[in-house]
Structure 1
């Protein structure tokens, strides 16, 4: 099989469905926060609780869903080498491993929820609400992780529209059920508040998995029939996943520290940070659509040893990602003074949001470059390099920055300036490494 042509059409064909698929999870969390932040009663505490639990959930899913990235790399490389039939037995092994992983994570973390969120400095009612919300949503771990494994297979096959359809279905179910369960229906259903938001998210995850399974059986030649003999590529998959896992541990250290500092500054700052973090994650998953295109095409190009194609892929995906990020920044700049009010009516939270949100907007073009290169390197299977890079920038940039800026009393701004420097380090180093890699491939 020849290498794929790196055309605008090919990139956008993969990127835009991947964008819609990728933003489903942050849309679920943002919807929860917006609905909860505007409900009657103690909405600030509920907002802080949903934000913290949602971010922790996203961090775990982001970490464990690296199986999606590794299986995508293996599938796309096999596709480029015209040897797809050789990985038939690997596919069900990966999916069942993900299901088992999800069950294990739930059994370990759900009983310890109060202890876990106490480590984030959540206290009193916020701690109690966070633990309860998490224990319901965490039931969905096996469903989410198995769906993500299937999404990775779709991406490796150069198709992101099936995952997009599944994700949109889940997001729509979540939006509708959020309003019905959180606010209730007069004379029919009592308002369930934070518990209702958690149940809505859980049902949305089940919907997403059901649609993914439909496409898996309808559109691919793979099956879920398990061969107990380990596939020769299973070791490679596990090693890739382990390295991607260690990489996201570094990401989670940054998120963990950000919430510890935010909770120390008070519940209003914690609630504001929850809003900012979920908007940042939305941006990240949105731009990650172009990284997914780079991942899928890049793995196939590397399988075909096409250096010129890889160079063109990087140029085009970076251009598209930066332009889209800039357009999003422009739209949100126009709406700048109104966005905080979408999530809460607390004046202090809105004021803190307005004072800090500009940092997130400024970092988006930098994020775009970092995510695109990150996706290409994942497609190559460069898990160990990405692991080492994240560990280095976390230790050398993020941690010193957040402690130093906190010392000077910047509080919430300290957190987000540290994230800005962290992303800048990733973008610059990955760009330099990519240039060297392409030169080496040409040689």
Structure 2
């Protein structure tokens, strides 16, 4: 069964999971925003560094879903859960390495992005605390990955809401009710990650799957992850460049960029709810050998995504004069917001379609195409306009024009790939993965 009811059964809980983290970040932004422009700009720099460092390793979630879904579709649940165990081992190790590297490089990276001064100093303090949560962030990604693959999106919703809900209460208490100030935001962030990861580990233990590390499976997972890491790096370079240009423009521009960027991230992940359903269902269909069913499902989900994107565009157009004021009362920051806002509104229409297509190709394990399309779009769209914005003083308008072109190029390439049908390769395990095992 792959009709609307099955899609919504997977997509709606996934929507909650995807929205929980960016919604928490929006709460965090609103709390910190009332500390002033410097604290908000510091959160923009520190939050971008942490988010981009973690997003480089999204294969713990998306790559695990693709592999697990194929095995689940082929009726091999035990093997599917075993993928989750090995992904969790890799996540724990990767998180520790990321923590060590991040603590050593936090200062130089913050100063590179924001220059010397109050903003970079505050960003370093926030980042060094927040980095303590990185192993738990990656473990949570791995947990989401294998559970989505076996078409269980309800429990991940409860786990993520538990962590982020408690931390959303802690954040204003620690920021305003103690002497922590901005550091209280980072402490609350770590608390969320620890709680969620602990719940995912408990669920994995309840499956009673063998917990011994299996190097052959890990190698195959890393081979899948390679393309997704390169794709993530293209995103990272682009987003970090945008934050750096905004920070070098002014503290107000950096603060405004943080507000609109976090709204963009929030909407992007909400739109991804259909992509999560696509990953699970497309992977299961191809694992069961049903290429025709996978192609029909792909077109259906793409249509749903397009409609959702149009709805979001209308909502944010209507809220243009109201929503930014929720996040800050600083007049200089609010004056900068419109330079990015209308690009943000227009992009929703394209993003609804694009993110649905992303989910289809992720579920099919078509990581090579996704890598190439993202790099091409960054090199031809996002990066040239972003750095031109610095050179020619275009400000946020130039940065967000670059992001819009980035999305448009990716959409054109993804639409062509969908029509070709070359992504619909059947089998419980792809030949590429067997070669690396």
TM tier relative to shorter chain = over 0.9
Which residue, out of 186, 198, 216, partners 2:186? 198
Distance of 1:439 and 1:166 partners within structure 2: 33
Change beyond 3 A, Cα 1:210–1:226: closer
Deviations 1:176-209 (A, max 9, x none): 001111110xxxxx34210111111111111211
What do you get for the CA RMSD once the two structures are aligned? 1.9
Distance of 2:340 and 2:388 partners within structure 1: 18
Distance of 2:346 and 2:29 partners within structure 1: 23
- Are 2:154 and 1:161 equivalent residues in the alignment? yes
Which residue, out of 91, 112, 133, partners 1:119? 112
Counterpart in the other structure of 1:296:
280
Counterpart in the other structure of 1:79:
72
Which residue, out of 376, 388, 395, partners 1:411? 395
Distance of 1:421 and 1:96 partners within structure 2: 38
- Are 2:308 and 1:324 equivalent residues in the alignment? yes
Distance of 1:322 and 1:87 partners within structure 2: 31
Please report how far the alpha carbon of residue 439 of structure 1 lies from its aligned counterpart in structure 2 after TM superposition: 9.3
Deviations 1:397-437 (A, max 9, x none): 22223344555542101111110110111111111111112
Counterpart in the other structure of 2:238:
254
Unaligned runs of 5+ in 1: 185-189
Please report how far the alpha carbon of residue 229 of structure 1 lies from its aligned counterpart in structure 2 after TM superposition: 4.2
Counterpart in the other structure of 1:187:
none
Change beyond 3 A, Cα 1:406–1:83: same
- Are 2:121 and 1:128 equivalent residues in the alignment? yes
Counterpart in the other structure of 1:287:
271
Counterpart in the other structure of 1:227:
212
Change beyond 3 A, Cα 1:297–1:222: farther
Which residue, out of 427, 432, 435, partners 2:416? 432
Change beyond 3 A, Cα 1:192–1:301: same
Partner secondary structure for residue 138 of structure 2: helix
Distance of 2:313 and 2:286 partners within structure 1: 33
Unaligned runs of 5+ in 2: 427-437
TM-score in terms of structure 2 length? 0.93
- Are 2:34 and 1:38 equivalent residues in the alignment? yes
Please report how far the alpha carbon of residue 266 of structure 1 lies from its aligned counterpart in structure 2 after TM superposition: 1.0
1:337–1:354 CA contact under 8 A, matched in 2: no
Which residue, out of 171, 181, 188, partners 1:178? 171
- Are 2:85 and 1:92 equivalent residues in the alignment? yes
Partner secondary structure for residue 23 of structure 1: helix
Counterpart in the other structure of 2:11:
15
Change beyond 3 A, Cα 1:439–1:322: closer
Distance of 2:325 and 2:366 partners within structure 1: 42
> Larger deviation: 303-312 or 29-38?
303-312
TM-score in terms of structure 1 length? 0.91
